Amino acid sequence: MKFKEYFYVRPDMAEIEKEFRAAINVVKSSTDLEEVSKSFERINKIRRTVSTMESLVYVRHSIDTTDEFYEKEQEYFDENLPIYAGYVNDLAIALVNCPLASELEQKYGKRFFDSVRTSLKTFKPEIVEDLQEENKLVTKYDKLIASAKIPFDGKINNLPQMTPYMSSLDREKRKEAETAIFKFFENNVDTFDEIYDLLVKLRDKIAKKLGFENYIPLGYARLDRGDYDDKMVANYRKQVYEDLVPVACDIIKEKGKRLGINDLKSYDLSLEFLSGNPKPKGDSIWQVAQAKKMYHEMSKETGEFIDFMTERELMDLDAKPGKRGGGYCTYLNDYQSPFIFANFNGTSGDVDVLTHEAGHAFQVYSSRGFDIPEYMWPTLEACEIHSMSMEFFAWPWIDLFFKDDTDKYKYSHLANSITFIPYGVTVDEFQHAIYENPSWTPAERKAAWRKIEKKYMPYKVYENSFIEAGNYWLRQGHIFQTPFYYIDYTLAQVCAHQFWIKNQENHEKAWEDYYHLCCTGGSKSFIELLKVANLKNPFIDGTIKVTVKELKKWLDEFDSSKIK
């Protein structure tokens, strides 16, 4: 079957509730392990189907946000998923308190029960209406972003379609493109501010209803972070500030020399070379053909994976009107199918997204044998190791995509993977400040953003008064959609850098560790998964210093004559 043939039917929540109630009664009362296991497994089958239908709606609504049918179905899920979460929560309570809890933990694994115990902290029936409102506000933000119609260069563009202009060789055009992009945000700033203000106050209210001091510990629990806390993350950010930010500043300084610009501005930072940024040498269809060749040569497993994805048409890659921005990978449980969503725009980011989301897709494809839904994916920071590392595992084949731009791509890819991390920790520190101060006004939030941005990215100099006032973050969807899901990218980047180093030394061993990590799925916690993959823990002092030293050595030794 091809994706377009995947069948959608709206889940009947009344029937689902009956099934959950029956299963909960068995779990609560039975002392027969086989009976309880069968009941639990039946519910997991239902959960996989609900997840499948939710993902089908999300994908099809993302592809065309103007489709009225899937818009209505998205509204249905926004309304009903919090109610459904109540059923899942009731089952979780029954499982951890049942007479056979220790036997079930032995059978299904400690990680599942640890996750269940964490999830119990995140839900009570009295927050259902609040969760419904939160879903609606996030959907409102997504629709607002997707609605962008930016007149530029003689045509109407959405936000992803504006990206190529930010790396134009014409400096004035770059400046004009930045101005046009943020004019959309400025024209809608009151709506963005209102949505975020409501979300922050709503999340703070939910946290307090659940017994938390503020949203921060609830945000961590929602992300199922069981083996690290905000203090460990703060120490990690300290390492980034001390050991990585100076290297990032050197990279930007070197860029200024390379471009011959003494006063680099924010609109210059996306340009890498005077001869132009590296670009893939074909459209999305051509790039997928190169990816097929690459993955067939990379390993037997990746060859099978890419055939599965292409034969079933499980990718929607091109930017188009009405399509949601960004890129992601999701999973359709009942069809055992990953799905890759992207917005190609003719830049090197197309290849980054293709390899990045393929890393997610390959992991969940490798983990599809797990019956427990929680084991299909690990927590988000571990998920990003698969994706970011796959970008680096693609290096030996990257010439297929870039031809004579290969050296430029490798340099900029590695350099940008370092300079990304200060931005990632800026987003994280900002969010901690926001949820520590939920009563801040929009102006106070923006002042905090600009202060933190200057700390980690002193090289980001704006001429645009709207961005200088602290509005850049309005375009970062994670801040609205999933609080605290952004430091994950930076933690994973440090791990992916380690895979890059390992791959330079011994490809077979690096791939063995990576594939083992993918197959382990979410059956272990983040720090346990680091051990599975033989990776150093980013929270431990010294990890960033040692890792970035190896990366800087490669950049320093690279023949700069190749990257004019």
> What is the distance between the alpha carbons of residues 352 and 350, in angstroms, rounded to a whole number?
5
Looking at residue 244, its pLDDT comes to 97
pLDDT, tens only, 148-158: 999 999 999 99
290 near 400, Cβ under 8 Å? yes
* Sign, CA torsion 310/315/319/323: positive
Mean pLDDT calculated for residue range 233-239: 97
Specify the CATH number of the domain 223-280+378-564: 1.10.1370.30
Biggest distance spanned by C-alpha atoms of the chain: 75
DSSP one-letter code for 347: S
> What is the distance between the alpha carbons of residues 279 and 351, in angstroms, rounded to a whole number?
9
Asked if pLDDT for residue 562 goes beyond 70, the answer is no
Per-domain boundaries in the chain: 3-126, 223-280+378-564
DSSP one-letter code for 328: E
* Sign, CA torsion 303/307/310/316: negative
pLDDT, tens only, 168-226: 999 999 999 999 999 999 999 999 999 999 999 999 999 999 999 999 999 999 999 98
134 near 199, Cβ under 8 Å? yes
Strand order in the sheet with 315-318: 315-318, 337-344, 328-332
Looking at residue 205, its pLDDT comes to 98
Name the H helices within 188-332. 189-209, 215-222, 230-239, 245-259, 284-298, 300-311
Asked if pLDDT for residue 515 goes beyond 80, the answer is yes
Residues with Cβ within 8 Å of 56's Cβ and at least 6 positions away in sequence, in order, are 6, 8, 332
Q: What is the mean pLDDT of the chain?
A: 95
Q: How confident is the model at residue 277 (pLDDT cuts 50, 70, 90)?
A: confident
> What is the distance between the alpha carbons of residues 541 and 253, in angstroms, rounded to a whole number?
27
pLDDT, tens only, 323-381: 988 899 999 999 999 999 999 988 888 999 899 999 999 999 999 999 889 899 999 99
The angle subtended at Cα 198 by Cα 129 and Cα 229, nearest 5°, is 85
Smallest CA-to-CA distance from 388 within 539, 559, 533 is with: 533
Asked if pLDDT for residue 315 goes beyond 70, the answer is yes
The token pair at 457 is 């990215």
Looking at residue 325, its pLDDT comes to 83
Mean pLDDT calculated for residue range 33-54: 96
> What is the distance between the alpha carbons of residues 131 and 139, in angstroms, rounded to a whole number?
12
Q: How confident is the model at residue 564 (pLDDT cuts 50, 70, 90)?
A: low
Looking at residue 276, its pLDDT comes to 87
- Global confidence as pTM: 0.89
Asked if pLDDT for residue 560 goes beyond 80, the answer is no
> What is the distance between the alpha carbons of residues 453 and 432, in angstroms, rounded to a whole number?
14
Q: How confident is the model at residue 558 (pLDDT cuts 50, 70, 90)?
A: confident
> What is the distance between the alpha carbons of residues 108 and 37, in angstroms, rounded to a whole number?
10
Smallest CA-to-CA distance from 141 within 477, 484, 483 is with: 477
> What proportion of the chain, given as a percentage, has pLDDT over 90?
90
